[in-house]
Amino acid sequence: MQSVAVRLICDREQEIREFQPREYWIITAHLQSGRKPFEAKLLSRGKEKIDLEDESAARNVLNGLQGASYLVVKIISRQRKRRPQAPFTTSTLQQEAAGVLNFPVRKTMQIAQQLYEGLDMGKEGAVGLITYMRTDSPQISEQARQAARDFILDTYGPDYVPSLPPVYKSTGRAQEAHEAIRPTLAERSPDKVKSFLSRDQHRLYKLIWERFIASQMNPAVMDATTVDIQAGEYLFRASGSVVRFPGFLKVYKEKEATETVLPELHEGELLTLVDLDPAQHFTQPSPRYTEAALVKMLEEKGIGRPSTYATIIETIQSRGYVVKQEKNLAPTELGFIVDDLLKDYFPQIVDVKFTASMEEKLDEVEEGGTAWQSIVEEFYQPFEENLEHAERVIENISLAEEQSEEKCPKCGRYLTIKQGRYGKFLACPGFPECRHTKPYYERTGVSCPRCGGMIVERRSRQGRRFYGCSNYPDCDFSTWDEPSPHNCPDCGNFLVYTGRERRLFCSNCNKKFEEETAPDENRT
């Protein structure tokens, strides 16, 4: 399972390295109905959807829009329901805790274990606050369902209680031995237990409690509106939604449940154009896996089980195959080498479909449907042959050591760059006679604006990347933004890269620049 996880991360990294970004432009019309502003995006020319590949194409459209009137030609309003999500399983809890609370998978499981085992609730004594936290079933007991419905009725009123309880189906080969992760008592709200819990315990319990209560509530009702606006031969579109009845959103706020409110518009209405905004964009590769995204992918492909996700992620990092860069998982040189060797000599081990199939067979063994001896024999015979072949052919693998420009202060040798559990570090090649080591910082080639030293990439205690002067602690200059090789023409401060599109920005005078028109270089 660990090998498949490394395979997924290596494959994604290769995709990112080979990705060729494609330029495209979006034109936004800033409009007014009366004095109420809103935005609409360019959609098409006539009935043909428009694709602006470069600035020239965007300028041609802007020229074609000169003097155009903006007329509302169609308004479509419809009511839709947003249904609550199921109570948490292990994987969905790990994903949501990562996205909402910024918890690593291991931390989520450690705190969930504490909530499950029980905490001192004062006069109540030690109380288990949640059900078992290793489960892939979204089902809950009838007793828990009724308790939730009673709580919702008493707290929020009858409009929030569905006539029929929601039913959530298991996915794949979910085992029904355990319920979904839920509070042991619905009426034990987060506010009631807050004084007995640590901050992180309370935050995770609140997430679990709210998700469970919300899962038993009525859907939210949304009014969704789409407005088509004709401007000459071009068509713009504006979309918005308003929550008419909050339903489960009364308890559990979802990220995507934000409102975009449009003013009251009418077909045939003539709008006022405030501004046309052309914006350059570039297509982006699939992002690197976060811990939560990797758990989701493993679950979708049938790799691992609720009890193993955290262990898989911890193992591939502790063995140095993968490092965490901010929130993202990136393969190391060792990870690539191991993945290549496994693909060459043990193709089944890193094959996603084979591993998922083996998981299913092991489930059948657990359920008593298949004898384990036949499955082990089927796997082990070809594996033993591959292992013997690999032992004959593969030589000991050692990573090539890169020599740095720094000398060891103890013995004078040039320090080498090594890959450790927590990333790269500098070490004296004279080990074990000389054991000098120090952190390794990536040089940016940009000079420090305070002392003229080198700006280097560093890591905070929480693993977040930042940039600081190599002369620290004598110079304590630092910034979260990546420095660029360009200086601001007005104040002389170096420009930094901001956003996914890496636009240049001066943090001193708040001016933006495009890379190709950026001022003089600031390399040392």
User: What are the residue ranges of CATH 1.10.290.10 in the chain?
Assistant: 90-215
- pLDDT value at residue 115: 97
Considering only CA atoms, give the Rg of the chain: 29
- pLDDT value at residue 524: 43
Q: Which of 135, 185, 98 is nearest to 299 (CA)?
A: 135
Helix axes 142-156, 199-215, angle to 10 degrees: 90
Element (H, E) at 198: none
- pLDDT value at residue 453: 84
Block residue for tokens 């000098």: 436
* Separation between Cα atoms, residue 358 and residue 383, nearest integer Å: 13
* Separation between Cα atoms, residue 10 and residue 3, nearest integer Å: 10
Element (H, E) at 296: helix 291-300
Q: Which of 143, 164, 157 is nearest to 83 (CA)?
A: 164
User: What are the residue ranges of CATH 2.70.20.10 in the chain?
Assistant: 23-79+220-282
User: What are the residue ranges of CATH 1.10.460.10 in the chain?
Assistant: 2-18+295-393
CB 396 within 8 A of CB 388: no
Residue 234, SS3 per DSSP:
strand
Burial degree of 418 (CB within 10 A; 0-12, 13-18, 19+): middle
Tokens representing 373 are 């001896």
* Separation between Cα atoms, residue 48 and residue 199, nearest integer Å: 54
- Say which of 24, 116, 132, 345 is annotated catalytic: 132
Tokens representing 208 are 């679990």
Beta bridge partners of 41: 28, 237
Block residue for tokens 């970004």: 21
* Separation between Cα atoms, residue 92 and residue 84, nearest integer Å: 14
Chain segment 78-126, per-residue pLDDT in tens: 999 999 999 999 999 999 999 999 999 999 999 999 999 999 999 889 9
DSSP code at position 52: B
Cα 311–Cα 316–Cα 317 angle in degrees, nearest 5: 100
Give the count of beta carbons closer than 10 Å to the beta carbon of residue 513: 17
Going by their DSSP bridges, the two strands 494-498 and 482-487 should be labelled as antiparallel
CB 118 within 8 A of CB 254: no
- pLDDT value at residue 514: 61
Tokens representing 380 are 């082990």
3-state helix, strand, coil in the chain (%, to 5): 35, 30, 40
- pLDDT value at residue 173: 57
CB 299 within 8 A of CB 92: no
* Separation between Cα atoms, residue 217 and residue 247, nearest integer Å: 6
Instruction: Find the distance separating the first CA and the last CA of the chain, reported in whole Å.
Output: 46
Tokens representing 7 are 């395979």
Verdict on whether the full-model pTM lies above 0.85? no
Q: For the structural domain made of 23-79+220-282, what CATH number should be given?
A: 2.70.20.10
* Separation between Cα atoms, residue 273 and residue 276, nearest integer Å: 8
CB 74 within 8 A of CB 44: no
Chain segment 180-227, per-residue pLDDT in tens: 999 999 999 999 999 999 999 999 999 999 999 999 999 999 999 999
Helix axes 309-318, 105-117, angle to 10 degrees: 140
- pLDDT value at residue 257: 55
Beta bridge partners of 465: 459
- pLDDT value at residue 521: 47
CB 221 within 8 A of CB 244: yes
The tally of CA atoms less than 13 A away on the side-chain side of residue 391 is 6
Element (H, E) at 242: strand 234-245
Q: What is the CATH architecture of 90-215?
A: Orthogonal Bundle (1.10)
Q: How far is CA 324 from the centre of its chain?
A: 13
Q: For the structural domain made of 2-18+295-393, what CATH number should be given?
A: 1.10.460.10
* Separation between Cα atoms, residue 92 and residue 299, nearest integer Å: 10
* Separation between Cα atoms, residue 144 and residue 488, nearest integer Å: 62
- Per the annotation, the verdict on 132 as an active-site residue is yes
* Separation between Cα atoms, residue 489 and residue 154, nearest integer Å: 64
Give the count of beta carbons closer than 10 Å to the beta carbon of residue 167: 9
Q: What is the mean pLDDT of each run of 10 residues along the chain (524 residues)?
A: 89 92 94 93 93 94 95 95 94 94 94 95 92 93 96 96 91 69 96 95 97 97 95 96 92 72 93 95 91 92 86 89 86 88 84 81 77 81 82 69 81 83 76 83 79 81 75 84 80 75 74 56 45
